[in-house]
Amino acid sequence: MDKANIEELLSFILESIALIKSRFQNINSTEDFLADDNGLMILDSISMRLQSIGEAIKNIDKKEQDFLLQVADKFYWSKIIKTREILTHHYIDIDAETIFNICDEKLDELEQKIKQLDSIIRRT
């Protein structure tokens, strides 16, 4: 296991989640993303960070497949990687509601799982 590289990726993911949460803080509905240029800029920046998180998880999965499975099943991680694929290759199909729901409903769970993985890697 390339422990240092995985630690860096986990740290990057946690940093990205913190940035997303900060940017999402004043977004109360999907319409807030679409209300003006500032909302669209926030939507774009959050989408980019979500894409980057998916890429980091994809890289961890390539390097050490069983590592991710310590805190969630393959289906959980593949949904995140698939979201990254959609954001990367089908960006035009992404809507503000999807990004809002990810931030509002899924981000805390992901953060907890990444923190668990971070704790595991630091103990080894």
**pLDDT for the residue 91:** 66
Q: How far apart are CA 105 and CA 109, in angstroms?
A: 8
pLDDT at 88 over 60: yes
Question: Do 121 and 14 contact (CB within 8 A), yes or no?
Answer: no
pLDDT at 113 over 80: yes
Where along the chain do its domains lie? 3-123
Structural tokens at position 58: 């994809």
Looking at the structure, give the CATH architecture of the domain made up of residues 3-123: Up-down Bundle (1.20)
Condensed to tens digits (0 to 9), the pLDDT of residues 35-79 reads 999 999 999 999 999 999 999 999 999 999 799 999 999 999 999
